[in-house]
Chain A
Amino acid sequence: MFSFFKKKSTSYTAQIEPGGIEVKVQSGKNLLTAALEAGINWPYKCRVGSCGTCKCKILEGKISPEIDFGYVLDFNELNDGYALACQTALKTDIKVKVKLKDK
Chain B
Amino acid sequence: MKTFYVNARYLIVPLMTIATILGLLIGNTFAWLGVILFGINTIIDTLTKNIHLRADFDKNGNSYGIKKLQYAVMYFMLPTFILLQVVLAWRLFQYTSFIPFETMSFLGVSYQNGISGFNLIGSVLSAGLWAGLGIIYGHELSHNRKEGFLVSRLIMALSGASHFTYAHVYNHHLDLGHEDDPATAPRGRNVYSHAWLSHAGQSQYSYDLERDKLKRQNKSFFSLSNKWIAGYLYSLPSILLFVWAGGVFGILALIIVWAISNFLLEALNFMGHYGLIREKGKPVEHRHSWDNDNLFTSWFFIEIGRQGDHHVRGETYFWELDDVDAPNYGIGYFSLFVLTLIPSLFRKFTEKLLDDWDQNKATDGEREIANQFKKISVS
Contacts and interface: CB of A to CB of B under 8 A. Distances in A.
A5 B66 contact: yes
Interface in A5-24: 5-7
Nearest to A53: B283
B311 to A, nearest CB: 9
16 contacts: A1-B3, A5-B72, A32-B315, A45-B284, A46-B174, A46-B284, A46-B314, A48-B143, A48-B169, A50-B169, A50-B170, A66-B144, A67-B149, A70-B213, A70-B217, A87-B315
A47 B143 CA distance: 10
B169 A30 contact: no
Interface residues of B, number: 29
A90 to B, nearest CB: 14
Interface of A: 1-2, 5-7, 28, 30, 32-33, 45-51, 66-67, 70-72, 74-75, 86-87
Interface in B153-200: 166, 169-171, 173-174
A21 B166 CA distance: 35
Interface string B63-78: 0001111001000000
Nearest to A64: B146
B216 interface: yes
Contacts of A50: 169-171, 173-174
Contacts of A30: 315
B172 to A, nearest CB: 9
Contacts of A75: 216-217
Lowest 3 A-B CB distances belong to which pairs? A48-B314, A5-B68, A50-B174
A84 to B, nearest CB: 11
B169 A6 contact: no
Contacts of A70: 213, 216-217
B69 A5 contact: yes
A13 B143 CA distance: 24
A6 B315 contact: no
Given A67-B169, A71-B170, A47 B66 contact: no
Contacts of A86: 315
Contacts of B4: 1-2
* Interface majority SS (helix, strand, loop, mixed), chain A: loop
A46 B173 contact: yes
A49 B314 CA distance: 9
Nearest to A29: B315
Nearest to A28: B67
Contacts of A1: 3-4
Contacts of A51: 174
* Interface majority SS (helix, strand, loop, mixed), chain B: helix
A2 B29 CA distance: 38
A74 B173 contact: no
Interface string B1-23: 00110010000000000000000
B3 A47 contact: no
Interface string B52-70: 0000000000000011110
Given A49-B169, A71-B170, 13 more contacts: A5-B66, A5-B69, A30-B315, A46-B174, A47-B312, A48-B169, A48-B314, A50-B169, A50-B170, A50-B171, A50-B173, A66-B146, A75-B217
A33 to B, nearest CB: 6
B181 to A, nearest CB: 11
Nearest to B142: A48
B315 A2 contact: no
B313 interface: yes
Contacts of A66: 144-146
Nearest to A45: B283
B209 interface: yes
A86 B4 CA distance: 30
A103 B214 CA distance: 39
A48 to B, nearest CB: 4
A76 to B, nearest CB: 10
A91 to B, nearest CB: 13
A101 to B, nearest CB: 12
Contacts of A7: 67-68
